[in-house]
Amino acid sequence: MEITASLVKELRERSGAGMMECKKALAENAGDIEKAMEYLRKTGLAKADKKAGRVAAEGRIVLAQNGSKAVLVEVNSETDFVGKDENFVKFANTAAEVALSSGSADIEALKTAAFPGGGSVDEARQALVAKVGENVQLRRMVRADSANKIGAYVHGGRIGVLVEVKGGSDELARGLAMHVAAMNPPYVSAAHVPADIVAKEKEIELAKMTDKDKAKPADILEKIISGKINKIVSEMTLTGQPYVLDTNMTVEAALKKEGAEVIGFQRLAVGEGIEKVVEDYAAEVMKQAGLA
């Protein structure tokens, strides 16, 4: 497979490694970017896999809640300008209220639900498109309906979180939602981390060790690896992370303090997983003028 400049650029953005290291990693792995990323991690060249999910689309995450019932809805626009438009914001908030009151299970059901003033939610969306002059889409929704507490938090219209908590205070539930918004842990606790993820991390840590370390007795080597894996697992779990509202304790300690338990959480961020084409207008003009 040809190692293109765009492929090298993408790997460089994801890993933080140098251009030549990225090119070598891709060449060593036949252009497979995921295997190249793993290669860089094993050789200690990757700084962070922080560009894995490129977030680009605009819009808002909106919340509607009534006690232990809550919904988050993502409504997308083409530009941030329209995403802040009062007509767009009003439509998004109303759509969330309709999602909550109608009991819509998913975004397709929400589209067909009745919109206040007449017509369906999707028909109201089409009317908004005509008004703002941009494409507007109802993309996703999540809901929580439980006998337990539901902590809900939306940060700046960009990130929304619902956390189901058994026991504890309303303040704790909201604080946990704020934590998930800020730290974005992939899993609730160590028990929820898939075995294949743990095995892969162990493989990577072993590959990064020196021959001198590997020559140590098996029981000592296992303790070293276990310590590293435990630290990695803690960093990727909600309960293992330092609590953002009190970094002197972990989330697990904050839960124990109130005799509470996290059942699960849902997190939406505007545009995650959607790649937005970034136009280079200067280059386009030069190209059309025959200067490039």
What's the pLDDT score for residue 251? 97
- 194, two tokens: 């898939």
Residue 216 tokens, joined:
């140590």
Residues 41-78, buried b or exposed e (16+ Cβ, 10 A)?
bbbebbeeeeeeeeeebbbbbbbbbeeeebbbbbbbbb
Cβ-based neighbour number of residue 194 at 10 Å:
10
Nearest-angstrom CA–CA distance, 161 and 179: 9
Give the pLDDT score at 202: 83
Predicted confidence at residue 53, as pLDDT, reads 35
Structural domains in the chain, sorted by start: 5-42 (1.10.8.10), 55-145 (3.30.479.20)
Q: Are 144 and 70 in contact (CB under 8 A)?
A: yes
For 49, the enclosing helix (H) or strand (E) is none
Copy the structure tokens of residue 214.
């590997």
pLDDT in tens, the chain (292 residues): 788 888 888 887 777 666 778 888 899 999 998 898 888 777 665 543 443 333 337 999 999 999 999 999 999 998 888 899 999 999 999 999 999 999 999 999 999 999 999 899 999 988 888 788 778 899 999 999 999 999 999 999 999 999 999 999 999 999 999 999 999 999 999 999 999 988 888 888 778 877 777 777 877 777 887 888 888 888 999 999 999 999 999 999 999 999 999 999 999 999 887 766 555 545 555 555 555 5
Contact at 8 Å (CB) between 98 and 114?
A: yes
User: What pLDDT is stored for residue 166 in this prediction?
Assistant: 97
